[in-house]
Amino acid sequence: MTTQAQTLRVFDTWASVVGVTEGDRYLVVSPFFHTFGYKAGIIASLIKGATLIPQAVFDAEATMALIQQEKVTVLPGAPTIYTSLLDAAAREGAAGYDLSSLRLAVTGAAAVPLSLVTRMAEELGFDAVLTAYGLTESCGTATMCRHGDSAETISSTSGRAIPGVEVITADADGKPTAVGESGEVWVRGYNVMTGYFEDPDETAKAIDADGWLHTGDVGVLDEHGNLRITDRIKDMFIVGGFNAYPAEIESVLAGHPAVSEAAVVGVPDARMGEVGKAYLLLRPGAEATADEIITFCRREMANYKVPRTVEFVTELPRNPGGKVLKFELRARAAEEATRR
């Protein structure tokens, strides 16, 4: 549960920071039942006087046609939206759309690889690509990059806390972690939900006595307070006693020239306890083998992080907001292991 006052204050801030203005033509792909579509879409457009252009069902080529037809200037969304557009634009016959009106992209909802941010600017033509972080329980926003931040900050972090909000990372004992050390992301401020509807027990688990919202996300803060989300606690798996965070591995995999998108899950292993399995979407026209991918990973990361198996797929299971459903991939991997 959140209040109207929270929503208006957070998304006036959000729209002002990212630079949505009157006259912008704002394409909303995220569904309206989702915080990003409703608050960063409808509410932000109403506050700033932008023209709202909704797209009921995402289709990459239909989106490019809509951008050309409606002269869209602002296109926020989950990282998969931009990956799909990049892949579609690379296909023969889909490269002729005029996307030159695009100026602003705001993304988040998952770890965003540096390679994706670079491609969004260079291949889709965005003048500005900003990243942000939030969750429904924080009224949709907790941290944001700002215009004027360095390219390194924008590409590698989700920015720093919005005004009036505190963000820290904490260890398993609830003690704040030092700069550069990983921990659970905690948020406190006017944006924290009033609670889960008619569920005081779950509310008490999520918000402690000091008002800190325990997000369940793992992150690292730099010396300027910029937050880098590394993963969800529940997605972490343990390889021979070492914590492996899928988002970190996926970011490296996305740097391979043949890989469009990666999803990594932990699967049971008799010797190591768990090991990584990577599900990969390849870029149009690209080819790669599992051995090539694993060799690439061994050059780029510690051995315990390297996926032991690689499966190439044509699609990944997603929710309506575009997030990959890791629990479905874990169930698929478990079923395959049982069959073997």
Chain segment 85-141, per-residue pLDDT in tens? 998 887 755 568 999 999 999 987 555 777 788 889 899 999 999 999 999 999 999
User: At the fourth CATH level, which superfamily is domain 165-232?
Assistant: Luciferase; Domain 3 (2.30.38.10)
pLDDT at 265 over 90: yes
CATH 3.40.50.980 domain extents, the chain? 4-161
In DSSP terms, 312 is beta-bridged to 280
Q: Report the C-alpha dihedral over residues 12, 14, 18, 19, rounded to 10 degrees.
A: -10
The tokens for 133 are: 């972080």
Give, rounded to a whole angstrom, the gap between the first and last alpha carbons of the chain: 46
CATH 2.30.38.10 domain extents, the chain? 165-232
In the sheet that 128-133 helps form, which strands lie side by side, from edge to edge? 104-107, 128-133, 143-144, 160-161
Question: Could you read off the pLDDT of 148-184 as tens digits, one per residue?
Answer: 998 778 878 999 999 999 999 999 999 999 999 999 9
The tokens for 339 are: 């069959």
- Binned at pLDDT 50, 70 and 90, residue 256 comes out as very high
Higher-pLDDT residue of 78 and 64 is 64
- For residue 158, which phi and psi values (nearest 5 degrees)? -105, 20
The tokens for 208 are: 């402690």
* 218-235 burial code (b ≥16 CB/10 A, e <16): bbbbeeeebbbbbbbeeb
CATH 3.30.70.580 fits 4-161, yes or no: no
Q: What is the pLDDT of residue 184?
A: 95
CATH 3.30.300.30 domain extents, the chain? 236-339
In DSSP terms, 165 is beta-bridged to 189
According to CATH, the topology of domain 236-339 is GMP Synthetase; Chain A, domain 3 (3.30.300)
